[in-house]
């Protein structure tokens, strides 16, 4: 009997532990969190999550109670000495009723989930994005995001990387492409994910209701540096967004000081120019991120490093330390040259 008395409390203890764990679901927050929604899409899905979470928890607890109840009668007699039971007709009928009703309830729960899921899915697709002119094309590269703001006016089209600004309160159309392998665009606070597939264009709309910074990350395994392929979405009021956009459409500021001029010269005389573009200068390659307004971005290296002078210098000198395997080579620049280059790049607001 001692075994009997030990097992049930242990099972109950485990159940309690599981419930404690479950309670940590209620803690939400953070800028990369699916149940801390900042837009209608994510809010919609978050509601669906809570519905399913609550119903599933109830089902789980009920099934566990049924299992625990079945353990109420115990014996320590060796199994082979206990005679085989012949349950009565009556008790078998009771069991049948219970099993049939439990199955019926299962079917009903499934229908509730199905309808909830369907209606939630419909409202994700309903919003008409054409009413707003803003359309952003995101292209996934190994391992960074190319971001291109489309416009009917060609002079308003511009390209940036790894940081997307959107106005608060209006739906924005995203068209998603893959340049090399499959990536997946996912900003959990705003919406679910969608794949960027070479040879296809996927579209989705995103709307942020609260101003703020939201972090997203590639969600489809895309090779070596899948882990460090993140991006920021900055949601800001319309006027602020317009200012930002106005600035981004400009060409790069000219190098003013001597140091900056020297930095620009270094940019053109080393490997930098092979991959990066700076609009308004002869640098036009689009293998790496466009650097026309690099100093205006919050982060470097696909949202891996905060954009400071020190980080930028370290990154240029030895990118392989921060993101081993990424496509940017090491640059053996003298300290003075490196400082000049950083001085120039940090002037590109």
Residues 3-42 that bind another protein (CB under 8 A): 3-4, 7, 10-11, 14, 17-18, 21, 24-25, 28, 30, 32-35, 42
Residues 113-142 that bind another protein (CB under 8 A): 113-114, 116-118, 120-122, 124-125, 142
Closest to another protein by CB, 20 or 154: 20
SS3 of 297, please? Answer: coil
Rounded to the nearest whole angstrom, what is the least distance from the CB of residue 117 to another protein in the complex? 4
By the rule CB under 8 A, 89 interacts with another protein: no
**CB 173, CB 132: distance < 8 Å:** yes
Closest to another protein by CB, 92 or 310: 92
Residues 206-245 that bind another protein (CB under 8 A): 215, 217-228
Residues 186-205 that bind another protein (CB under 8 A): 186, 188, 191-195, 197-200, 202
Cα(110)–Cα(117) distance, integer angstroms: 10
Task: Give the residue, chosen from 12, 99, 243, 274, that forms a contact with another protein under the rule CB under 8 A.
Answer: 99
How many chain residues touch another protein (CB under 8 A)?
103
Cα(69)–Cα(332) distance, integer angstroms: 71
Cα(256)–Cα(253) distance, integer angstroms: 8
Residues 64-83 that bind another protein (CB under 8 A): 64, 66-67, 69-71, 73-83
Cα(96)–Cα(185) distance, integer angstroms: 49
SS3 of 193, please? Answer: coil
Cα(24)–Cα(32) distance, integer angstroms: 16
Closest to another protein by CB, 75 or 285: 75
Cα(182)–Cα(142) distance, integer angstroms: 9
Residues 281-300 that bind another protein (CB under 8 A): none
Residues 302-331 that bind another protein (CB under 8 A): 304, 324-325
By the rule CB under 8 A, 177 interacts with another protein: no
Q: Is residue 224 classed exposed, middle or buried when 0-12, 13-18 and 19+ CB atoms within 10 A define those classes?
A: middle
Rounded to the nearest whole angstrom, what is the least distance from the CB of residue 173 to another protein in the complex? 15
Please work out, in degrees rounded to the nearest 5, the angle formed at the alpha carbon of residue 158 by the alpha carbons of 258 and 310. Answer: 45
Cα(35)–Cα(233) distance, integer angstroms: 17
Token pair 């317009």 in the structure block, residue: 242
By the rule CB under 8 A, 170 interacts with another protein: no
Rounded to the nearest whole angstrom, what is the least distance from the CB of residue 58 to another protein in the complex? 10
Closest to another protein by CB, 70 or 334: 70
By the rule CB under 8 A, 180 interacts with another protein: yes
Closest to another protein by CB, 69 or 154: 69
Cα(307)–Cα(311) distance, integer angstroms: 6
Nearest in space to 165 (alpha carbons), one of 232, 216, 247, 249: 232
């Amino acid at each position: 009997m001692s075994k009997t008395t030990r097992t049930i409390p242990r099972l109950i203890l485990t159940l309690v532990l599981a419930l404690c764990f479950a309670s940590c679901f209620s803690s939400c927050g953070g800028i990369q969190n699916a149940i801390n929604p900042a837009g209608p899409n994510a809010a919609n899905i978050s509601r669906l999550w809570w519905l399913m979470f609550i119903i599933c928890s109830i089902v789980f607890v009920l099934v566990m109670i049924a299992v625990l109840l079945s353990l109420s009668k115990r014996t320590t007699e060796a199994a082979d000495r206990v005679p085989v039971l012949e349950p009565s007709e009556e008790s078998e009928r009771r069991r049948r009723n219970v099993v049939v009703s439990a199955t019926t309830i299962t079917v009903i729960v499934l229908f509730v989930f199905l309808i909830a899921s369907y209606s939630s899915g419909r409202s994700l697709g309903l919003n008409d994005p054409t009413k707003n002119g803003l359309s952003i094309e995101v292209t996934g590269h190994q391992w960074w995001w190319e971001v291109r703001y489309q416009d009917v006016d060609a002079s308003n089209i511009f390209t940036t990387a790894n940081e997307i600004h959107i106005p608060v309160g209006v739906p924005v159309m995203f068209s998603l492409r893959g340049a090399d392998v499959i990536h997946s665009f996912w900003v959990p606070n705003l919406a679910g994910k969608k794949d960027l597939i070479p040879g296809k264009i996927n579209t989705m709309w995103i709307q942020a209701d609260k101003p703020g910074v939201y972090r997203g990350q590639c969600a489809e395994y895309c090779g070596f540096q899948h882990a460090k392929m993140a991006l920021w979405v900055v949601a800001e009021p319309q006027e602020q967004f317009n200012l930002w956009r106005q600035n981004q459409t400009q060409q790069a500021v000219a190098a003013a000081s001597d140091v900056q001029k020297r930095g620009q010269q270094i940019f053109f005389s080393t490997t930098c120019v092979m991959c990066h573009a700076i609009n308004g200068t002869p640098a036009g390659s689009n293998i790496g991120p466009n650097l026309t307004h690099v100093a205006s971005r919050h982060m470097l290296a696909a949202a891996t490093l905060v954009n400071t002078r020190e980080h930028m210098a370290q990154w240029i000198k030895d990118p392989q330390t921060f993101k081993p395997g990424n496509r940017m080579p090491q640059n053996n620049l003298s300290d003075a040259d490196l400082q000049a280059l950083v001085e120039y790049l940090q002037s590109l607001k």
